[in-house]
Structure 1
Amino acid sequence: MDVTAPPAAPGANDACRRVNQVLARMGDKWTVLAITSLAQKPRRFNELKRLIGGVSQQMLTRTLKALERDGMVTRQVYPTVPPQVEYGLTALGQSLSVPVMHLATWVLEHLDEIERHRDDHDRGRP
């Protein structure tokens, strides 16, 4: 019996790598939390940091820059002293917010059940 995989189509590895890069960004917890926080309206950096909770300034900055690079987030700088910066979702980011918000809703709806399963598992109960 031959158990070797058939040869990959030309460009398949490149396509997988590219998809993997995007999925890694979209599956990151800080990305999910940033997208859900921006889904309703644009927000300033410190407001986002407070809403997300637990994210460092450096990690939030990295996340927002990556989302801006991917075309999901806009960054608007207002000429005030000190400068105010506001982040919002682009049309592409809004389209991503739909499945992300469904995922967030699912998590909230099932959180108690998931935690019960974790507790049972950790105590050695089936």
Structure 2
Amino acid sequence: MVKERTSVAQSQVVLVLDLSGQRDTVEEVLGLAYGLSKLFLKEYTPVCLLVWDALEYDFIEVLIQKREEIDTQFIYLLRRAVVTDNIELAKMVQSLRPQLQAYAVIGLYEDGVRGEVISHG
């Protein structure tokens, strides 16, 4: 059991947040990401959040390792993020973070706000 927990804790889940929509959509995206983050952290799996920063032309990367950090990290992320529309996040992740083999993009799709798992491996 301890060995299993240790191996799970060494992995992490990567969530790419698409905050380019209207305010209500952004709130839904953040709410879904927040809820998913809490679930993963409950299982001792760290969560890495990526949000596009148009000024830096790169992702803001926030690693949350404990449930106690989640509120502070989400607030930090919101204060730093400068988002523009029409960014193809999956292509940007593949270009700027080629080491990531799989991640979920949380955003607005035709059927509503949801996550879509992207795998390059």
TM-score range, shorter chain: under 0.3
Tell me which protein shows more strand as a share of its residues: 2
TM-score scaled by structure 2?
A: 0.27
User: Rg: which structure is higher?
Assistant: 1
Which structure has more RCO (C-alpha within 8 Å, separation ≥ 6)?
Answer: 2
